[in-house]
Amino acid sequence: MSPFTTWDILRNLLFAAEWTILLSLVAFIGGGIVGLAVLFARTGRNAALRRVSMVYIELIQGTPLLMQLFLSFFGLSLLGFDVPPWFAAGLSLTLWTSAFLAEIWRGCVEAIPRGQWEASSSLAMTYFEQMRHVVLPQALRIAVPPTVGFSVQVVKGTALTSIIGFVELSKASTMITNATFQPFVVYGLAALVYFALCWPLSKSSQILERKLNVAHRNH
């Protein structure tokens, strides 16, 4: 058996980080699409849909992500579906992301002055037309910094999928630790890889926010 060098450890962690990135992208894009649907339901005119989407958001934001992962991983397989870890991971992270994004975006939509809604509705626009042409283009501007900021939570959330056996950065760290008996080095390096993924996102969210505030002041 050849001994692991620090470089070997780092190289294997970087391989595993590809899965972290892929899962983050799936969750973020999928969550964005579902989140948009939830946003429409949450801010729309149908009272029943508003209630349902509110309960959905409250349930997901009000329970640990780990429980949602366990329910989809162990729960779905009891219903007779064969659920591989990657599917359970992708599904629960997508739903989790959608609830948070919908709530972030709702704040942005509600920041648009009432007059804009009234003006567009006096032009006989339907709700979707109002959202598409009047509200969303303006809400998008304020939505960008918090959305980018939330992507950091998604990347960190993927770490939990290691617990149901999805092999990404965290699971790989545990596996490498079991092989090398160097937890200090392995988890330290894993933390640095996560930091390298998340910090640029955090920073750009901050910079975007500052830029936006400058624009606000000039108005």
Partner 1 sequence: MAYVFDYGAIVPYAPLIAKGVGITVELTVIGGALGVGLGIVCAWARSLGPRWLRPPVTLYVELIRNTPFLIQLFFIFFGLPSIGVSLGEMQAAILAMVINLGAYGCEIIRAGIEATPRGQFEAGASLAMTRIQTFRHVVLMPALQRIWPALTSQIVIVMFGSAVCSQIAVEDITFAANFIQSRTFRAFEAYIIATVLYLVLALILRQVMRSLGTLLFPRRRAAR
Q: Which is nearer to partner 1, 98 or 173 (CB)?
A: 173
CA atoms within 13 A on the CB side of 115: 1
Q: Which is nearer to partner 1, 69 or 143 (CB)?
A: 69
d(CA 130, CA 40) in angstroms, rounded, equals: 11
d(CA 215, CA 132) in angstroms, rounded, equals: 23
d(CA 104, CA 201) in angstroms, rounded, equals: 17
Q: Which of residues 22-81 bind partner 1 (CB under 8 A)?
A: 59, 62-68, 70-71, 74-75, 77-80
Q: Is 117 helix (H, G, I), strand (E, B) or coil?
A: helix
d(CA 94, CA 71) in angstroms, rounded, equals: 14
Q: By rule CB under 8 A, what string of x and - marks binding of each residue 130-169 to partner 1? A: ----------------------x---xxxxx-xx------
Shortest distance, position 127 Cβ to partner 1, whole Å: 30
Contact between 34 and 94 (Cβ < 8 Å): yes
**The amino acid at 75:** G
Q: Which region among 37-45, 116-124, 188-196, 209-217 touches partner 1 (by CB under 8 A)?
A: 188-196
Binding residues with partner 1: total (CB under 8 A)? 41
Binding-site ranges for partner 1 (CB under 8 A):
59, 62-68, 70-71, 74-75, 77-80, 152, 156-160, 162-163, 170, 173-174, 177, 182-184, 186-188, 190-191, 194-195, 198-199, 202
